[in-house]
């Protein structure tokens, strides 16, 4: 899935801002295959007709389960006349895991663990009452999950001033970070998308649905929109990130 940097249009729009924006769009590669399918043998490689797909690092795009392979192949089959990587979040995540997590999982686990020291759900507003209640509604169950399922008791802070978490809490929660590279990669994606390792671990352990996790990650943003109105640009960005979130959840479910 190579991308060419500039998209030359037959007719430039009159608006120079729109012209600049369009010229920055990547030129999408024309679809060159009839059908994507999964190799019969494990690991389950993705084949375009009879040709194996390679990751950006030149490794085989091969999945740990047939079900996950079929989900990736479905993205390739859903492409139209041109291949749009932006519409293939599961393929992109698989590439990332194969090229960047399988051989070096430790730094990825370390990155997730860093969030435990200043996790989103531990930092609460002091006011207004409506936001305080909304944070408690979405975030208190996550602290309960950490306490009851992981043996990790985190402390709360008000505002944005950093509060050090107990070492035993961080250590206990870190022990729940998956060691399997596929699940590890998925948890890392959810952590960075939500700003919370506890949200990611709750999804990985089946305590939280993807939709509930996404709502928990956007409590503050949704509160602000309820006061000041919808931000369509922010919502568009959120929709694109949610596609990545769903891809990570698919890996957790099928890997």
Kindly report, residue by residue over 122-153, the tens digit of the pLDDT: 999 999 999 999 999 999 999 999 999 999 99
CATH of domain 105-254: 1.10.3580.10
Alpha-carbon gap, residue 235 to 41, rounded angstroms: 41
Alpha-carbon gap, residue 226 to 244, rounded angstroms: 25
Q: Phi/psi class of residue 78: alpha, beta or left (left: φ > 0; alpha: ψ in -120 to 50)?
A: alpha
Confidence band, pLDDT 50/70/90 cuts, at residue 27: confident
Q: Which long-range contacts (CB under 8 A, 24 or more apart) does 20-26 make?
A: none
Query: Is residue 63 a contact partner of residue 75, using CB atoms and an 8 Å limit?
Result: no
- Mean pLDDT taken over the chain: 90
DSSP 231: -
Confidence band, pLDDT 50/70/90 cuts, at residue 231: confident
List of E strands, the chain: 29-30, 36-38, 44-48, 51-52, 62-63, 82-83, 123-124, 157-158
CATH class of 31-85: alpha beta
Give per-residue pLDDT as tens, 149-167.
Answer: 999 999 999 988 899 999 9
Give per-residue pLDDT as tens, 77-120.
Answer: 999 999 999 999 999 999 999 999 999 999 999 999 999 999 99
Q: Domain extents for the chain? A: 31-85, 105-254
């Amino acid at each position: 899935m190579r991308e060419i940097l500039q998209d030359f249009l037959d007719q430039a729009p009159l608006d120079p801002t729109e012209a600049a924006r369009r010229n920055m769009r990547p030129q999408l590669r024309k679809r060159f295959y009839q059908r994507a399918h999964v190799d019969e043998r494990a690991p389950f490689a993705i084949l375009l007709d009879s040709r194996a797909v390679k990751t950006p690092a030149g490794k085989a795009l091969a999945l740990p389960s047939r079900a996950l392979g079929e989900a990736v192949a479905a993205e390739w089959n859903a492409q139209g006349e041109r291949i749009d990587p932006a519409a293939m979040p599961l393929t992109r995540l698989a590439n990332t895991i194969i090229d960047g997590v399988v051989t070096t999982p430790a730094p990825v686990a370390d990155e997730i663990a860093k969030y435990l020291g200043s996790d989103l759900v531990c930092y609460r507003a002091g006011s207004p009452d409506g936001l305080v209640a909304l944070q408690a509604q979405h975030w208190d169950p996550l602290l309960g999950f950490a306490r009851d399922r992981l043996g990790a008791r985190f402390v709360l802070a008000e505002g944005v001033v950093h509060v050090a978490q107990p070492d035993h809490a961080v250590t206990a929660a870190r022990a729940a970070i998956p060691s399997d590279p596929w699940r590890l990669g998925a948890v890392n994606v959810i952590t960075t998308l939500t700003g919370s390792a506890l949200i990611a671990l709750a999804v990985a352990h089946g305590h939280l649905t993807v939709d509930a996790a996404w709502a928990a990650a956007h409590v503050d943003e949704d509160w602000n929109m309820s006061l000041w109105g919808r931000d369509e640009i922010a919502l568009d960005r959120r929709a694109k990130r949610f596609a990545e979130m769903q891809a990570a959840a698919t890996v957790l479910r099928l890997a």
